[in-house]
Amino acid sequence: MVSLPSMISTKDFVSSKFSPIEGKTTWASPSNIALVKYWGKYGDQFPQNPSLSFTLSKCITTTTVAFKPKGKSNDTFSFSFLFEGKNEAAFHPKIETFLKRIVPYCPYLTEHHLAISSSNSFPHSSGIASSASSMSALALAIASMEREVSPTISSDYFNQKASFLARLGSGSAARSISGPMMSWGETPSVAHSSQAYGTQLFGKIHSVFETFQDTILIIDKGQKKVSSTLGHQLMENHPYAVTRFAQAHEHLAKLVTILSTGEMDDFIALVELEALTLHALMMASNPYFVLMQPNTLAVLNKVWAFRQDTGLPLSFTLDAGANVHLLYPEEDKTAILAFIQTELSVYCQDGQYIEDQVGAGAKML
């Protein structure tokens, strides 16, 4: 287990209480796709290993928080939540849990009523995990409340705090604040990396990755048989946990080099190994899970054959479900999209896939 680095302390993110204010803030925050996977956590949502992701640009949650003084002073939260214009009570417990987790750092929350409304750019039933985009959008909106009273805080601090809060909602959400790539978790390979918040990847990034494409094949809209909470728990007594966490550190160090050199064969080998390792860990958990569907496997075989036949650098990664993220350089987009349309869309539920690409991170609207 890695402890918090000595230089940063979670205390640095405790805001002071301020007199309640009225206002409104809207953020559009993207999803992200991990190349080195976060799988295993401890304590207050700290990752067992560092992870690194591409920030996406089209899979976005847009969240508005209208805030006003609550009136009564007590320790309870007052909020309403509309999802795509409809009152969605089913989301209330998740939001309440999030507010409880972050209130030690945002004590002003109990002084305000929050009218939260949210919508996704991608279909709700597509099986795309929305916790990264939704939790980061909400965290950014809440961090903006305190920026209203402290407008001089630096953008670095603002982003760190937003990522810190987002992490407490969903670990991967910590990596949705900036782009084109973010890491999360302490590693000597990324300057200023932290267990507590995500870090934008600076330094030399090969231009091929700045416009990298991610076409998401929707293999199973009802995916997610294993909740991420259970999934992370499965790593607690996993026979391969120690080796896996060490491997993730090595992979992240290698990936940082690959991202700067643009060495495509190394990129493909590492990213596919990470994806299959995630699924192998689930298959070797107790209880065990197979999250791939027959069509997932059919797509992987097609991708390998296509690469062999054409020499084009098409690769895949997977999240904790059946859907497949196809990764490739923008310059090969025409040929690869034609291949997806003619040969792979038949494996997608209702022929559905989403064309996304690497993006610049969240935006205030």
CB of 97 to ligand DP6, least distance (A): 11
CB of 231 to ligand DP6, least distance (A): 7
| Residue 43 CA from chain centroid, whole number | 19
Interatomic CA distance for residues 157 and 178, integer angstroms: 13
Nearer to ligand DP6, 15 or 228 (CB): 228
Minimum CB–partner distance for residue 167 and ligand DP6 (Å): 8
Segment near ligand DP6 (CB under 6 A); pick from 84-92, 136-144, 228-236, 353-361: 228-236
- Which parts of 276-315 interact with ligand DP6 (CB under 6 A)? 278
Site for ligand DP6 in 141-200 (CB under 6 A): 170-172
CB neighbour class for 343 (10 Å; exposed up to 12, middle 13-18, buried from 19): middle
Binds ligand DP6 (CB under 6 A): choice among 28, 320, 354, 362 = 320
Question: Which residue, among 122, 58, 115, has the nearest Cα to 359 in the 3D structure?
Answer: 58
**Cβ 11 to ligand DP6 shortest distance, Å:** 22
Q: Could you tell me which stretch among 3-11, 224-232, 303-311, 357-365 binds ligand DP6 (CB under 6 A)?
A: 224-232
Cβ atoms of 340 and 311 closer than 8 Å: no
Nearest CA to 361 out of 123, 59, 50, 46 is that of 59
Q: How many residues belong to the site for ligand DP6 (CB under 6 A)?
A: 16
- The counts of H helices and E strands in the chain are 9, 14
Name 204's Cβ contacts closer than 8 Å, sequence gap at least 6.
260
CB of 227 to ligand DP6, least distance (A): 8
Instruction: Report in angstroms how near the CB of residue 346 gets to ligand DP6 at its nearest.
Output: 26
Token pair listed for 108: 């002003």
Nearer to ligand DP6, 160 or 323 (CB): 323
Residue type, 195: Q
133 binds ligand DP6 (CB under 6 A): no
CB 16 within 8 A of CB 104: no
For residue 83, the surrounding DSSP H or E stretch is strand 78-83
Regarding 229 and contact with ligand DP6 (CB under 6 A), the answer is: yes
Site for ligand DP6 in 5-64 (CB under 6 A): 34, 37-39, 45, 51
Q: What are the phi and psi torsion angles at 332 (to 5°)? A: -100, 15
Task: Give the one residue of 118, 131, 134, 193 binding ligand DP6; rule: CB under 6 A.
Answer: 131
Residue 108 vs 198, nearer CB to ligand DP6: 198
- Pick the closer one to ligand DP6 by CB: 138 or 336: 138
Q: Could you tell me which of 61, 59, 26 has the C-alpha nearest to residue 141? A: 26
Cβ proximity to ligand DP6, 109 vs 173, nearer residue: 173
Looking at 20-84, list the stretches that DSSP marks H as alpha helix, in order from N- to C-terminal side.
Answer: none
Indicate the residue among 34 and 102 with the shorter CB distance to ligand DP6.
Answer: 34
Among 163, 199, 200, 228, binds ligand DP6 (CB under 6 A): 228
Residue among 178 and 228 whose Cβ is closer to ligand DP6: 228
For 185, other C-beta atoms within 10 Å of its C-beta total 30
Quote the distance between the C-alpha of residue 101 and its chain's center. Answer: 19
In whole angstroms, what separates CA 104 from the centre of its chain? 23
- State which residue, 234 or 344, has the beta carbon closest to ligand DP6: 234
In the complex, the residues that contact ligand DP6 under the rule CB under 6 A are: 34, 37-39, 45, 51, 131, 170-172, 228-229, 232, 278, 319-320
